[in-house]
Structure 1
Amino acid sequence: MDTTRNQDHRDAAGDGAESFWEKHYAARRAWGERANPLLVETVEHLPPGAALDLGCGAGGDTIWLARHGWQVTAVDISTTAVEQVREHARELGLGDQVATEQHDLARSFPGGEFDLVSAQYFHTPFTLPRSQVLRTAAHALRPGGLLLIVDHGSTAPWSWNQDPDTHYPTPTEIAAELDLDPEQWPVLRADMPRRRATGPAGEAATVTDNVLVLRRNP
């Protein structure tokens, strides 16, 4: 789930959300072409371990992590997405480092413990208990592990949601919604950097990302 969503809170019950994302990813033809830059910035100097990619989508982050020695569990609601990510990993000789699981995270969460959980642009036009999912992710961290949350902080020209009244929660607001014990999950980073981004048709714009990084203490 890696593109801007129109936050109209459609009902996630039944097959609505799964069908929506299945159609979205079935229409895509490029898989795992590039990683999100804030993932690379955060992780590139860390020793590799076990990573969970929430809403893996096209798989760019999963492939980057696997190439850098991580064992990655890639999760998405779209069966097509996880199958394509798994096949792309095999084609690149990374099949042993990538496991894929189909989950509607409103209903289920992958098992295991992780050194990194990455939630990049974890938005959806359907009702999702996002804070609950991210709290579960924080509890799935091993001691010393990082939860990296990167959200949209502005509306790009190619964003699906062009509502000028859209409120993008700040990192501080997101941390408050998670309601985690700051002694056990201290905030390492909470800021709103700007960067030049490229849209699906090659258009460029300056966008804002809302970045929150938490660490699980022993």
Structure 2
Amino acid sequence: MSHESDAAADATRFWDERYVSRRTEHGRMWSGRVNATVAQQVSDLAPGTALELGSGEGADALWLAARGWDVTALDISSIALEVGAGEAAKAGLSDRIEWVQTDLAAWRPSAQYDLVMSAFLHSPVDFPRDAILRRAVSAIAPGGRLLVIGHGGFPPMSEHVHDGEVPPFPSPDEVLAALDLPTGWVVETNALIERTTKWRDEEDVVLIDTVLCVRRLD
């Protein structure tokens, strides 16, 4: 097996084990609710075709599909995708979402979409995030958008905060620079956005999201 194959197998195993070991009594790791910043950024867009990079258990993909989007959801973990597909079936949205297990490190776009979205595409294992987002640029149809949402820092109650670890999260300006966009693009959002959420469904905490949305001109 090649080094690349070893790395892909290790990453797949890491995420599958994470999604299984952190499941709650609800049968999933995450809340199942759309991220508030995703909803804020997308609510006013006309539905079309969407591609989500790193969809996890599919809360954002399900939210998009319920609002008329045709979604392709990509994730490395088949365990996470099974959760999303099950929720889609319950909600009658199976015909609007295609769930695709793939290692984004090796992914290459094969179609174009009105919206390509990356929400919290961070990983504690080695991961070529900048290269993946640069590839995603070629998956945007004329007039379409690339929306990149990330963490602005560790959650205040995270173990990483107490360890004094420096957050490895890029700013919107750094994301924009890494995209190295050609001419014919405009920046629609470049911001840090605060949101209040319940930390593990218990205590309210304020989080900061980094948001970059760029649109391809016709």
**Equivalent position of 1:210 in the other structure:** 210
Alignment root-mean-square deviation, CA: 1.9
Q: CA separation in 2, counterparts of 1:63 and 1:158?
A: 28
Name 2:61's counterpart in structure 1: 62
User: 2:36·2:195 contact (CA, 8 Å) conserved in 1?
Assistant: no
Tell me which protein shows more helix as a share of its residues. Answer: 2
Structure 2 length normalisation: TM-score?
Answer: 0.88
**Counterpart mapping for 1:43-192 below 5 A:** 43-109=42-108, 111-159=110-158, 161-162=160-161, 163-181=164-182, 183-192=183-192
Shift of 1:197: 2.0
Task: Name 1:21's counterpart in structure 2.
Answer: 15
What's 1:7 paired with? none
Aligned with 1:52: secondary structure? strand
- Separation of aligned partners in 2, 1:160 and 1:72: 34
Deviation of residue 185 (structure 1)? 2.3
Q: 1:164 Cα deviation (Å)?
A: 4.1
Give CA deviations for 1:141-194 in whole Å, capped at 9, x if unaligned: 11111111111002213435333432432111111111112x322211111121
Change (3 A) 1:126 1:12: farther
- CA 1:83–1:110 in structure 2 vs 1: closer, same or farther (change >3 Å)? farther
Contact conserved, 2:151 with 2:209, CA < 8 A, in 1? yes
**Could you say if the C-alpha distance between residues 85 and 99 of structure 1 is closer, same or farther in structure 2, counting changes exceeding 3 Å?**
same
Aligned length: 207
Q: Aligned pair in 2 of structure 1 residues 64, 132: CA closer, same or farther (>3 Å)? A: same
Q: Is the alpha carbon distance of 1:136 and 1:154 closer, same or farther for their aligned partners in structure 2, counting shifts above 3 Å?
A: same
Q: Percent identity?
A: 38
In 2, Cα distance between the equivalents of 1:206 and 1:14? 34
SS of match in other structure, 1:99: strand
The residue type equivalent to 1:175 in the other structure is: L
Q: Secondary structure at the match of 2:68?
A: coil
Give the residue type in structure 1 aligned to 2:65. Answer: A
**How far did residue 33 of structure 1 move?**
2.1
Task: Give 5+ residue unaligned stretches, structure 2.
Answer: none
Q: Residues 102, 60 of structure 1: CA spacing in aligned structure 2 closer, same or farther, 3 A cutoff? A: same
- Residue 33 of structure 1: aligned partner: 32
Question: Could you tell which deviates more after superposition, 107-116 or 188-197?
Answer: 107-116
2: CA distance between counterparts of 1:145 and 1:12?
Answer: 35
Q: Is the 8 A contact 2:114 2:143 kept in 1?
A: yes
2:49 and 2:70 in contact (8 A); partners too: yes
From the superposition, tell whether residues 154 and 98 of structure 1 become closer, same or farther in structure 2 (CA, over 3 Å): same
Distance 1:111 1:34 in 2: 29
Distance 2:212 2:178 in 1: 12
Distance 1:50 1:14, change over 3 A: closer
Q: Structure 1 residues 87, 167: closer, same or farther in 2, change over 3 A?
A: closer
SS at match of 1:13: helix
Distance 2:112 2:100 in 1: 15
